[in-house]
């Protein structure tokens, strides 16, 4: 390994910059050349590379987003596009690739390796925490902190007006953000895709919490929840059955993906970058770096893509008990 390329791909997540910094500094530490690829796979196809050194990544550990920019590349989904990308990397003298992204990005990386035997290493960067092989993905902890800060503020207005709030949070098909932020922010009910409680039980639960003396309620809803109604339809549904409820809706949206990474995400990114580069140096390829039980571990990319991250059933129970 003489020259490593690093790129960010798919949705951005806080901590990606800290991971870029770590990859670049680990290369510098081991006297290996490193180039940054702008705009993910699209930049790879276009040869949009920039040589980087330890100083090019100064002042970014604290910044959200990604200085290398991210993109979704249609061209990279075609064999022709990947061939151009391979030629561009070869021409630049690059012999290994670190991809910071989600499972779509890993699928592309794996194909790229299969076709050209190019060594690749993945770092999981997504706020959704929906990747198999790691307890935490980069950006997840930061997103959770952003969400509970927002919900705390909504709680203030909810309790001042005896209101019921449906708060939609991100997470795509996974309920990690909803479940953990729901517990952390003290939600009455948490709706996640992994467990469809049904509309009837939702109403019962709201009535129960009213009958126990609660005057305001927060319901955290995962965007991928399978109850069959979005937050606005949930509001209508509840109002139809309980015209006396004062129901409001808040969709937190993209603010969840932004902001300075938490200390946890910065440390995790630093550890993952070191592990990714040093694993390539040991001759390993086609793995995703992850953290399990506070240890850095490698999972074959194939498994990381196919496997699914499981929701913590014990935490579901904790949520239920806390809503008593
Ligand atoms: P996020 O979870 O944040 O969406 P992601 O990595 O899953 O991140 P995608 O948009 O699915 O995001 O993938 C990013 C890029 O990876 C795509 O734009 C495409 O260039 C490449 N990619 C995804 N799937 C494939 C595939 N099956 N074959 C080749 N390339 C792919």
pLDDT in tens, 64-95: 999 999 999 999 999 999 999 999 999 999 99
CA of 192 to the centre of ligand 1 (A): 24
Record the pTM.
0.96
Tokens matching residue 194: 């992994």
Q: Are 133 and 303 in contact (CB under 8 A)?
A: yes
pLDDT band at 160 (very low <50, low <70, confident <90, very high): confident
Per cent of the chain over pLDDT 70 is 100
Give tens-digit pLDDT for 185-207. 999 999 999 999 999 999 999 99
pLDDT band at 162 (very low <50, low <70, confident <90, very high): confident
> Which residues sit opposite 168 in a β-bridge?
221, 251
Residue 139 pLDDT more than 90? yes
* ipTM for the whole complex: 0.95
pLDDT band at 161 (very low <50, low <70, confident <90, very high): confident
Annotated catalytic residue, options 48, 128, 130, 141:
128
Q: Which residue has the tokens 């592309």?
A: 108
128 in active site: yes
For residue 41 and ligand 1, the question of a CB distance below 6 A is answered with yes
Burial of 62 (0-12, 13-18, 19+ CB in 10 A): exposed
For residue 107 and ligand 1, the question of a CB distance below 6 A is answered with yes
In angstroms and rounded to an integer, the radius of gyration of the C-alpha atoms of the chain is 22
Tokens matching residue 212: 């126990």
**How far, in Å, CA of 18 to CA of 9, rounded?**
15
Residue 272 pLDDT more than 90? yes
**How far, in Å, CA of 245 to CA of 82, rounded?**
56
Give tens-digit pLDDT for 98-126. 999 999 999 999 999 999 999 999 999 99
Over residues 309-319, the mean pLDDT reads 92
Over residues 157-184, the mean pLDDT reads 94
Q: Whose CA is nearest to atom 16 of ligand 1?
A: 105
Over residues 208-236, the mean pLDDT reads 92
Residue 309: per-residue pLDDT = 86
Residue 214 pLDDT more than 90? no
For residue 122 and ligand 1, the question of a CB distance below 6 A is answered with no
pLDDT band at 216 (very low <50, low <70, confident <90, very high): confident
CA of 40 to the centre of ligand 1 (A): 10
Residue 179: per-residue pLDDT = 97
**How far, in Å, CA of 84 to CA of 42, rounded?**
10
Q: Are 103 and 110 in contact (CB under 8 A)?
A: no
Which among 149, 192, 201 is positioned nearest to 168, based on CA atoms? 192
For residue 9 and ligand 1, the question of a CB distance below 6 A is answered with yes
Mean pLDDT over each residue of the chain, to the nearest integer = 96
């Amino acid at each position: 390994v003489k020259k490593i390329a690093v790129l960010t791909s798919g949705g951005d997540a806080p901590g990606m910059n800290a991971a870029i910094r770590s990859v670049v500094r680990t290369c510098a530490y081991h006297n290996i050349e490193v180039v940054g690829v702008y705009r993910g796979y699209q930049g790879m196809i276009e040869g949009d590379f920039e040589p980087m050194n330890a100083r090019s990544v100064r002042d970014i550990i604290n910044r959200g987003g990604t200085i290398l920019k991210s993109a979704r590349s249609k061209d990279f989904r075609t064999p022709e596009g990947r061939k151009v990308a391979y030629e561009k990397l070869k021409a630049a003298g690059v012999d290994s690739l670190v991809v910071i992204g989600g499972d779509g990005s890993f699928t592309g990386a794996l194909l790229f390796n299969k076709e050209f035997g190019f060594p690749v290493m993945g770092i999981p960067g997504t706020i959704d925490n929906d990747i198999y092989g790691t307890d935490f993905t980069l950006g997840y902890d930061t997103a959770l902190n952003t969400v509970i800060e927002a919900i705390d503020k909504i709680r203030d207005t909810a309790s001042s007006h005896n209101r019921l709030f449906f708060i939609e949070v991100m997470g795509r098909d996974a309920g990690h953000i909803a479940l953990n932020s729901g517990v952390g922010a003290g939600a009455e009910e948490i709706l996640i895709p992994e467990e469809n409680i049904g509309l009837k039980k939702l109403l019962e639960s709201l009535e129960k919490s009213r009958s126990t003396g609660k005057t305001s309620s927060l319901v955290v809803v995962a965007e991928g929840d399978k109850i069959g109604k979005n937050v606005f339809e949930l509001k209508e549904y509840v109002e139809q059955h309980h015209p006396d409820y004062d129901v409001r809706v808040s969709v937190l949206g993209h603010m969840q993906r932004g902001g300075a990474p938490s200390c946890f995400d910065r440390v995790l990114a630093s550890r993952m970058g070191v592990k990714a580069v040093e694993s390539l140096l040991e001759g390993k390829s086609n793995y995703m770096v992850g953290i399990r039980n506070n240890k850095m571990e490698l999972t074959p990319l194939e498994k990381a893509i196919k496997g699914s991250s499981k929701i913590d059933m014990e935490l579901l129970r904790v949520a239920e008990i806390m809503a008593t």
